[in-house]
Structure 1
Amino acid sequence: MKGKFLKLRISILSSGSAGNTTLIESEHHKVLLDAGLSGKKIANLLAQRGVDIKDIDMVFLSHDHTDHSGGLGVLMRRYSQLNAYANEGTWKYLQESNKIGKIPKEQINIFAPETTKIFDDLEVHSFATSHDAAEPQYYVFCSGGKRFACLTDTGYVSSSVKMQIEAADAYLMEFNYDDMMLRNGPYSWSLKQRILSDVGHLSNEQAVEALGDVVSRETKYIFLAHISQHNNDQLLVKKSALQLFEQRDADVDSDVQFMTTAPMKPSKFIEL
């Protein structure tokens, strides 16, 4: 990458209920979205992509659930250069519940929903989502005119969210479950109801519907994320995603790449 202007470079290091973390690089920053694995595992996943964990300078946390936040405390205590960003509700819950242990106050930063922060060449916009966590939110990362919109762990996609993520160059989008597999699967009815609810997760059909409203000719990559290991499979996910090309009103370029993600298996880098 030396000598080449880097707008955004992205690898989904791990995605799914076993743990979530994503690497996002601009020319001047290397950051993580979520830290839902142990510090050791995150360091190993980064190393697989040629990145030293000591070079990570920020973590942006989407919500308090362990598969997104579990490793954050360890990283903050171990690496003093690391600044962590989350909204007030998420920090309050994590501290009161002691889920991630004692965390250095000087590394805690409040990032309220519907806010934009600028870090040199990296601009980050936050937006509220609908999930059964303290105060869930996701982010759009921008650099050099390129946009990477991230959205998982939400029961539905509101018109407000669609406005904030539309026309991105790349997406991290939840394809959590196939409706029939979930309904006929082994989970208890109470858990099925939670997943199906407005504070649960997105089905393949819901994800395609949302993407159909927001993708544009600018969109080149779509990461198919947070795929359930019990209520979905990658063939169904890809089949659903390809329906985007069949939607009359979806302005999707024919060369858009759909990329599946997996737990503990870093995706290849994409560059925007």
Structure 2
Amino acid sequence: MSWFAVDDNADTHPKIIAAKNAAVGLWMRAGSYASQHLTDGIVPGVIAKMYGSKAQITKLVEVGLWHEHGHTCPRPKCQQPAPGDYYMHDYLEYNPARAEVTARRERAAAKKRDYRERQQAPGAQGGRRPQQPAYDEQPLPDPAPPTSAARPIPADWQPSAEDVETAQLARADAGLPQLTAQQLDQVTRKFVRRQLDDQRVAPAWGGRWQQWAENERTELAAPGGVVVPLQQPTRSQQQVAGLDRLRERLNGGSAS
């Protein structure tokens, strides 16, 4: 593929301004034609009349963008067109000649041929790959191994002694009371039920259970349905309890 070059100052060139947009459109199309067909700037008359009007052709000749047969342009590269044809002024000043484009294409084609021959030569490194079987004849690859051993939690899952110790230490650091064996059992049953209800899967459950036990601050039921609070009574609750005890002592003393 070749290109028709247009100077980046063409929009303000006096000849472009004088020709006006309609004639400049013809000039652009003819330039593209000349570049594609490697005419070295010659615009056949039949192409000029097919792409533009007689007035547009006349305007391009008048402003000096095109030359007719018999022109006297002093530019050495401005060729003399045949009668009825036109030549684009200074075409070869900015665009490659047919011989140059052809030679460049031949060099590129020769490089490709040489590369293919070297790649296909016997014993050449990186040569032609052995012929592969047809798509429907190729064996199916072995299924990829699972990326993890994630699985649902067993219904009878229990934390390890290390899990329990880690959770209890974390609770102590946070100022929370230690969980009794019965409370640990309640926490574990609640944890397992929640994982099963949410249909969660994981390779291991110890770490998740530790976080659950560390953050467990709800009231856990003791045997017989008695609720055992895990949080310490507030200061106001302690004060009320102290006043009650003082009142009982005073009442007991007056009775004696």
Class of the TM-score when normalised by the shorter of the 2 chains: under 0.3
Q: Using CA pairs below 8 Å that are at least 6 residues apart, which structure has the higher relative contact order?
A: 1
Q: Which has the higher helix share?
A: 2
Q: Which has the higher strand share?
A: 1
Q: Which has the larger radius of gyration?
A: 2
TM-score, normalization by structure 2: 0.24
TM-score, normalization by structure 1: 0.23
